[in-house]
Amino acid sequence: MAAVQFVVEGEHPLKGSIRPSGNKNAALPIICAALISDQPVTLHNVPRIRDVETLVDLVRSLDVQADWRDRNSLYIHAKTLRASALDPALCAKIRASILLAGPLLARCGEVTLPPPGGDVIGRRRVDTHFLALEQLGATFDVGDTFRLRARKLKGADVFLDEPSVTATENALTAAVAATGTTVLRNAASEPHVQDLAHFLTTLGAHIEGIGTNTLTIHGGHAIRGGTHAIGPDHIEVGSFIGLAAVTCSEIRIEKAGLEHLRSIRMGFERLGIVCKEDGPDLIVPKDQDKEIRSDLGGHVPKLEDQPWPAFPADVMSIAIVTATQCKGLILMHEKMFESRMFFVDKLIGMGARIVLCDPHRALVAGPSALRGSTVESPDIRAGMAMLLAALCARGTSTINNVGQIERGYERIDERLSALGARITRIEERRGG
């Protein structure tokens, strides 16, 4: 097994164009949802990242044909589907394994799921998934594994106890295969949930309310095969906005999916970073005032994440690093995960002026001159944030555990190097 490091030389200006990959958080549920059809499905613009590769291996373990037709196009044909126990080692690598529950219940009537893995950013409850599927006719037992059964899925009026993205996706996919009408209330409405819904309509599903918090699914319609292109990753776009800001660079983000960027752009505007639209592209100009906008009356402003369409939690780590390079004081409030903020200790070690108030809030004072350091990549988004910090720091940084970043960002070292970043990839073979 190879241990991967990035050795990063900071303070080099970047310039050029970059295109966001397909949305990771759309690709994962869409790959799972492809299993509700026994006809061929072709997916384009699929990000070739570790989480996707792991999920494809899981899908293949169910006797499903899943082949890469080119680097970012995936062919799936679930003509046969075996409801076997899923590989615990693979499930432990990704949280998305739980998204197989809905499709396997729909096709096989049962599924045994080991506990899902993923980022270590705090407790991520699964109750909402099972309570929603139970209302659609499933029964479940919870022990060392999760065992679900459903002789027949039936439509229902379902109120989710929290607007969980993955629970919404599981329930949505199951409802498409259920008989009768399902109403999903308090549903998540993120761009990746919308993308999944559009994919399901391509397969013949009848879904109303896409993009809202109430989805009406008229189930029981014939499911066919189809072709679908994954939309651009708005979280990656947010990462590139932060990248341009902290390195004082002008970057064009091609085909950025502007319709899904309003809250992200508003969040960065609070930090004094303004972007321009040019057709389907987003341009981050080099000259930014990077002055944090105080609230009316001169009060200390706050940037907080909330369910879509508000500022997304997955951009918070990027925004914190960006705030260290902006003039002023701001309170960053990450509401969803109680361990996600702990990476700021690494930023403090690089010279950032941050007070971690509690597991959810950090007070950032900038600008701070960051210095190179040796740091870990604790999770996907914090890892990318540390890469941004290294790129604007004085001197050389070493980022360990780069595999975390590569779970969510495709060939990020190559793509940023094309903009002028100085990133050296080092792979060391471990025994075993």
Distance CA 96, CA 426 (A): 28
Q: Is 278 an active-site residue?
A: no
Residues forming a β-bridge with 154:
179
Distance CA 105, CA 125 (A): 20
- CA torsion 81-85-87-93 (nearest 10°) is 90
Name the active-site residue from 119, 195, 314, 413: 119
Query: Who contacts 124 (Cβ-Cβ below 8 Å, separation ≥6)?
Result: 95, 118, 337
User: Catalytic residues, which ones?
Assistant: 119
